[in-house]
């Protein structure tokens, strides 16, 4: 018999019961459900709503149920509907009348809101830990490649010289912001909704702050309707995870390109690549491709929950049962992607000679050549046009700016002198980009120090 069946004459249709049940996926919140129930029982006793002896029986049995679930001694059945009814049914079976008192002054509406927030708070902490490990891997690569010159790209065309360290620090900064976003999301999620009841609170003299303190929440929700009716905290988390996966996907794309024969900038470890069933020469960057592909999966979770919530009137509606699978899948996906990506980066081999050759052959020092003329007094736009003509001459005659003879330079401008070769030497081009945030070694060291401090001093919320 279902806990809510008193008003009904007929049993639930089997197909309807299967559609209605959420125990198959919300069972993962059993710890949070039991922890929340223990805190609720303690509060009910402290406020005199139930007897202390009943509270002790309830909390003791809940602790036993927790141990039994962890030991796989309790069977989850579709007839239980959800984890909340499963636990309460088992509790009542074990201790009888006292177990029936647990649900006093609460509803499944505020109970699930509590469990979901508690569960996601813990998941955010774990994702932050994995993000910090990824940042550490990016910093390690940067520290080892401060002078590894490579071309930077715009429109996938070689643009200006940079270093691999500069590249990795760009992604480290992106993931630093991902951590900050997750911390902000955690702070807004850190509100305790129990006591909201079904939608308008309760007439019992409950102590909501006591429950919040017991469960480690910083504050309680301020409106009972809002406490049960919104899932903006879940949407915000999905947004944070979608942005995080965007950053992973972009670096995946770089890695996929860089390890191709056409680029040859890096080589991935055999442990993170696969072969072809028909082409024996292949070494495919499948892990990077999978991370790139799973990004769309996380986006889908965000769009799915946005669509569920977009037209729901207050307060709780059964549509909101669709929140968990979307969020659980996104959380699981991110938690899988981060450590494997981190390990792949640690075992990646950098090929600095190939990177430098690509930079030398791509006229990435053309801007520096332009700046050379500007510093000698020529207006920028005139200098730009002259260097454009030089690049055209080089491409037509198999030259580079470094190999171009001085008579050719002089033919285009009398301002050119032998010191132009030093001005366009790739290492010098890098060193002169010493502005904060640039690729010059001293700038790179400052960036690494700042992000390393962020990574080392961060503690999960």
Instruction: Give 294-320 pLDDT, tens digit per residue.
Output: 999 999 999 999 999 999 999 888 899
212 CB burial (10 A radius; 0-12, 13-18, 19+): buried
What is the per-residue pLDDT for 20?
67
Instruction: Give 327-366 pLDDT, tens digit per residue.
Output: 999 999 999 999 999 999 999 999 999 999 999 888 999 9
Instruction: Give 380-417 pLDDT, tens digit per residue.
Output: 999 999 999 999 999 999 999 999 999 999 999 999 99
The CATH classification of domain 109-147+163-357, taken from the options 1.20.200.10, 1.10.260.40, 3.40.720.10, 3.20.20.30: 1.20.200.10
Mean pLDDT over all residues of the chain? 94
Instruction: Give 74-125 pLDDT, tens digit per residue.
Output: 988 877 889 999 999 999 999 999 999 999 999 999 999 999 999 999 999 9
CA dist 347 and 338 (Å) reads 15
pLDDT band at 244 (very low <50, low <70, confident <90, very high): very high
CA dist 155 and 177 (Å) reads 25
Residues of the chain with pLDDT > 70, as a percent, come to 96
Is-cis flag, bond preceding 315, omega within 30? yes
What is the per-residue pLDDT for 461?
77
Q: Which CATH class is domain 15-104?
A: mainly alpha
Give the residue from 39, 69, 37 showing the smallest Cα distance to 216.
39
User: Is 140 or 1 the better-scoring residue by pLDDT?
Assistant: 140
- The helix/strand/coil state of 169 is helix
User: Is 1 or 114 the better-scoring residue by pLDDT?
Assistant: 114
| Largest Cα–Cα separation, the chain | 101
Q: Does 4 score more than 70 pLDDT?
A: no
Active site residues: 155, 276
User: Is 195 or 322 the better-scoring residue by pLDDT?
Assistant: 195
Classify domain 361-457 at the CATH topology level. Answer: Ribonucleotide Reductase Protein R1; domain 1 (1.10.40)
Q: Where are the domains of the chain?
A: 15-104, 109-147+163-357, 361-457
Q: Does 21 score more than 90 pLDDT?
A: no
CA dist 154 and 170 (Å) reads 15
């Amino acid at each position: 018999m279902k806990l809510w069946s008193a008003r009904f004459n007929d049993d639930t249709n089997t197909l309807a019961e299967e559609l209605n049940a959420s125990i198959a996926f919300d069972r993962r919140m059993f710890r949070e459900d039991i922890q929340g129930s223990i805190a609720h029982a303690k509060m009910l006793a402290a406020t005199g709503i139930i007897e202390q002896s009943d509270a002790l029986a309830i909390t003791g049995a809940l602790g036993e149920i927790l141990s039994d679930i962890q030991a796989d001694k309790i069977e989850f059945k579709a007839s239980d509907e959800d984890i909340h009814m499963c636990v309460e049914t088992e509790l009542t079976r074990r201790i009888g009348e006292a177990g029936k008192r647990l649900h006093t002054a609460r509803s499944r509406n505020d109970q699930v809101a509590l469990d979901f927030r508690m569960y996601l708070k813990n998941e955010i902490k774990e994702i932050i830990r994995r993000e910090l490990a990824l940042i550490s891997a990016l910093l390690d690569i940067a520290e080892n490649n401060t002078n590894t010159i490579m071309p930077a790209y715009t429109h996938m065309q070689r643009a200006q010289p940079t270093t691999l360290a500069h590249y990795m620090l760009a992604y480290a900064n992106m993931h630093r912001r991902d951590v900050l976003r997750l911390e902000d999301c955690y702070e807004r999620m850190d509100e305790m909704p129990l006591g909201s009841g079904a939608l308008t609170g309760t007439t019992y003299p409950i102590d909501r702050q006591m429950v919040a303190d017991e469960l480690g929440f910083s504050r309680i929700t301020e409106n009972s309707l809002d406490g049960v009716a919104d899932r903006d905290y879940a949407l915000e988390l999905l947004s944070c995870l979608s942005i995080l996966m965007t950053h992973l996907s972009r670096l995946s794309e770089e890695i996929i390109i860089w390890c191709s024969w056409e680029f040859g900038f890096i080589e991935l470890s055999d442990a993170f690549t696969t072969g072809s069933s028909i082409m024996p020469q292949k070494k495919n960057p499948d892990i990077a491709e999978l991370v790139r592909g799973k990004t769309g999966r996380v986006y889908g979770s965000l769009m799915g929950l946005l669509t569920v919530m977009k037209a729901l009137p207050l307060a709780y509606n059964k549509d909101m049962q669709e929140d968990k699978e979307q969020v659980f899948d996104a959380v699981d996906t991110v938690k899988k992607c981060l450590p494997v990506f981190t390990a792949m980066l640690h075992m990646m081999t950098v090929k600095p000679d190939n990177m430098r050759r690509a930079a030398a052959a791509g006229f990435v020092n053309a801007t520096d050549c332009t700046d050379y003329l500007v510093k000698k007094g020529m207006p920028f736009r005139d200098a730009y046009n002259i260097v454009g003509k030089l690049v055209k001459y080089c491409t037509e005659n198999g030259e580079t700016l470094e190999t171009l003879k001085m008579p050719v330079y002089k033919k285009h401008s009398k301002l050119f002198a032998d010191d132009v070769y030093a001005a366009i030497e790739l290492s010098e081009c890098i060193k002169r980009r010493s502005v904060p945030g640039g690729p010059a070694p001293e700038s790179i060291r400052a960036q690494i120090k700042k992000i390393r401090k962020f990574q080392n001093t961060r503690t999960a919320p």
